[in-house]
Amino acid sequence: MPPARFVRARRRPYRRLVATAVLLLAATMPVPARPQAPASQKPTYRVEVNLVQVDVFVTDRDGHFVPNLTKDDFELLEDGKLQPLSTFAVVNLPVTTNGAVPATASAVDAETAPAVRDVHTNAGRTEPRIYVLMLDDLQTAAEDSVRVRDAALRFIDGYLEPGDVAAVVNSSGGGDVSGAFTDNPVRLRVAARAFIGSGLPAARTATERMRRISDYLAGIPGRRKALVYFGPGFSTGRRPIPTRPPGIGETTPGALGTGRGAGGLESPDLRILEEVDYRDLVAAANRANVSYYTMNVRGIRDLANLVSADQRGTAGGEESGSKTTNAAAGKDRLDTLQDGRLSLSADTGGVAALNSITDPFFRQIQIESSSYYMLGYHTASTAKASLRKIVVRSRRPGLTIRARRQFWWPGTSSPVASAAPDVKNVPPALASALRYPVPQSDVRFAAAAMPLRQASAAAWATVTIEIDARDLDTSGHGALDVGVVSVNDRGEMKGSDARRLNLALEGDGLERMRKNGLRVQARVQVPAGACVLRIAVVDAASGRGGSLWMGLDVPDYSKPSLAMSGVALTYSEAALTPTANADQELRKLMPAPVSTRRAFTPRDTIVWLAEIYPPGDSLADLRAVASIVDGSGKPVLRREQPLARDPSKTLHVTGGTDLSRFVPGNYILRVEVKTADGSQTARRETAFQVEGSLEP
């Protein structure tokens, strides 16, 4: 099928401009880097900088955050000694959500979700809050799974601000947590709804997972991170778990801990942590500035169930001790198991919920993650690990201060494993920008990705990046480092494309870059399923950088079922932006390079393209439909396109429309293909806007 063409009179100048732009940039382009397998051994780093950062939450008598304090209003003591403050900053992010559940909160997959934006940008974003929702599937009883899921969904739907970065992880999960981070609520809901508790006493596994998460987050300095733990808790090993009341067998439903039956010897409770395990957990959180907020979703129901289980465990109706004794022992056991949860929150500057009422607790997490002071001081560097007590006070009367109360100094000889995957053969500034999920916006850009099937049935993605030239060296002698890495849901790197662009533009090409920006395309191998693309650009002259992570749903192209690529979109002015490393296969099929622009005027013409991959070796005809609906769902355009199967060619759905008859508003472009019998369907959607009018 011939590619779509713009019908407007200025079509030929557009094509000539894009060809000139590509030639100007491609002459200095290195050969694209092939995807590299991730290193088998995780890197390590040493704690060499002795700067300790403490986030401080300050409220007045009415419980409101006090935003106007200065460095001189604080005193910080370590082990009773006043410490000079080396750094000081106030964070006061806007809060717009109020716990209300949005209308789209029920969306959990591509079929029920609204059109998810396919273009992501780091421009105009406030500093995001960083959350990890830790769902303790190992220790949560199966019958409590729904409560955990509902609590996590309540937080996602009611207390995440647009742009916040979060991850939903399980205590049993392995690998790198970085693959779970996203700013897409739909992905978070999918992860939360998949939670199922197993009821195993495995505190060490759960807390080891927490420690690894903190190690990863340590690479994001200068900000507070909140880890919200949903689980039954654990003991810190500071006091012994009381023995089980007589008559409780080891398989008693609802009982905590383990046992060997009536009158038997008690085996060690697997929810106990050794003191050294707890110390390492707190030390990792302190290094990373992670505050733990913990909740047992069973709340006060725990004790009633425990007492009930004690009574059920009495064999043959024999009275084995009084119910009062059983209840007292059960309460002691429950209190002990909550000891670790309460201590961990206090030792890291967080809060432990004392009941299962979610909204006040979640609201407090949101507020404390939005407004706080960051104080930094230099601690004494010693080879020996030690616990150092921290006290933060205000010189202003009438204020309440809450901060973590201790810091575990790991010792200068203690290497700490980094959970961040290594990115090889790129400049350090670019590698650093690729590793962590918090967007950087010193260099602003937008990015879109189009998954495609290769001849080998492997999946690749063409990534289009459009960069704001105001943030670049546009002298005509600058250089730009660009990197794209694909990561699966376990944090394993599956593909990469990293290069340095020599921006040796001159004349018309240089002027157009200054006016319209710069477009760069990359091509990376991507894993099937949900993956994350990490994208970063760094101006080589100034060292300024920009980065973002974006989620991408990739079909499993190895299956013999109907599938399609992503949708590429361009418009009539796209050729005015110089393009480096243009995807030549797509250029043959479209009248201008793929664009990230999704806001158009009635003067624009848009063109779309999607590749279709028929099921197996079937030669049956397919039918494709491209349609556009407005924000209310009213059809605006519909075009059907029969696709005759030709084994020697890749099938394409392509088309375009001018927007002169589109009223300003929001629209959804939907491309759908079906088999002749309707048994298989593939669909992609993208949202766009029309702004302004034809009036000059």
- Write the pLDDT tens digit of every residue in 338-391: 677 888 888 888 999 888 888 999 999 999 999 999 999 998 877 677 888 999
Average pLDDT value for residue range 71-81: 95
Q: Give the pLDDT band (50/70/90) at residue 256.
A: very low
270 in the same domain as 140? yes
Interstrand relation of 386-394 and 290-295 (parallel, antiparallel or unpaired): unpaired
pLDDT in tens, 116-155: 678 999 887 667 899 999 999 988 889 999 999 999 999 9
Any domain includes 479 = yes
Question: Domain boundary at 347, 370, 393, which?
Answer: 370
On whether both 362 and 334 belong to a single domain, the answer is yes
pLDDT at residue number 37: 35
Query: Is 326 inside any structural domain?
Result: yes
Q: In one letter, which amino acid is 270?
A: L
* Residue 527 is assigned to a structural domain of this protein: yes
pTM over 0.85: no
| Cβ neighbours for 304, distance < 8 A, ≥ 6 positions apart | none
- On the CB side of 603, CA atoms within 13 Å amount to 8
101 inside domain = no
Residues 268 and 221 in one domain: yes
Taking 70 as the threshold, does the pLDDT of residue 29 lie above it? no
Q: Is residue 116 part of a domain?
A: no
Instruction: State how many domains the chain has.
Output: 3
Separation CA 605–CA 592 (nearest Å): 11
Q: Where do we find the tokens 């000059």? A: 696
pLDDT tens profile 215-237: 888 877 778 899 999 988 776 65
In a domain, 112, yes or no: no
Model confidence at 159, pLDDT cuts 50, 70, 90, reads very high
Q: Is the dihedral of CA 245, 249, 254, 257 positive or negative?
A: positive
pLDDT: is 527 or 3 the higher one? Answer: 527
- Tokens read off for 133: 């929702």
Whether 651 and 569 map to the same domain: the answer is: yes
The reply to whether 443 and 488 lie within a common domain is yes
- Same domain? For 499 and 535 the reply is yes
**Average pLDDT over every residue of 406-428:** 61
The residue among 351, 384, 417 that closes a domain is 417
> Does a structural domain hold residue 425?
yes
Is residue 409 located within the same domain as residue 425?
no
Q: Confirm whether 106 is domain-assigned.
A: no
User: The CATH number of the domain where 579 resides is what?
Assistant: 2.60.40.3880
For residues 263 and 375, state if they share a domain.
no
* Highest mean pLDDT of the ranges 92-106, 250-264, 409-423, 483-497: 483-497
CATH number reported for the structural domain that contains residue 265 in this entry = 3.40.50.410
From edge to edge, which strands make up the β-sheet containing 130-135?
165-170, 130-135, 225-230, 290-295
> What 3 state SS string does 485-516 have?
EEECCCCCEEEEEEEEEEECCCHHHHHHHHHH
| Token pair of 490 as six digits | 């376990």
* CA 572 – CA 603 distance, rounded (Å): 9
Domain that holds residue 176: 125-370
CB 195 within 8 A of CB 108: no
| Straight-line distance from the first to the last Cα atom of the chain, in angstroms, rounded to the nearest whole number | 37
Tokens of 136: 């303790």
Pair (458, 585) in one structural domain? yes
Per-residue DSSP letter, 616: T
From residue 388, how far is each of 80, 384, 526, 693 by CA, in Å? 9, 12, 45, 65
Q: What is the mean pLDDT of residues 672-676?
A: 88
Q: Are residues 57 and 176 in the same domain?
A: no
Among 29-38, 388-397, 461-470, whose mean pLDDT is lowest? 29-38
Q: Residues 283, 211: contact at Cβ < 8 Å?
A: no
- The H-or-E segment that residue 45 falls in is strand 44-46
pLDDT tens digits along 180-214: 888 888 889 999 999 999 877 666 788 888 888 88
**pLDDT > 50? residue 23:** no
Are both 56 and 18 inside the same structural domain? Answer: no
d(CA 288, CA 632): 46
Q: What share of the chain is helix, strand, coil (3-state, %, to 5)?
A: 25, 30, 45
Q: Based on the domain organization, do 559 and 470 belong to the same domain?
A: yes
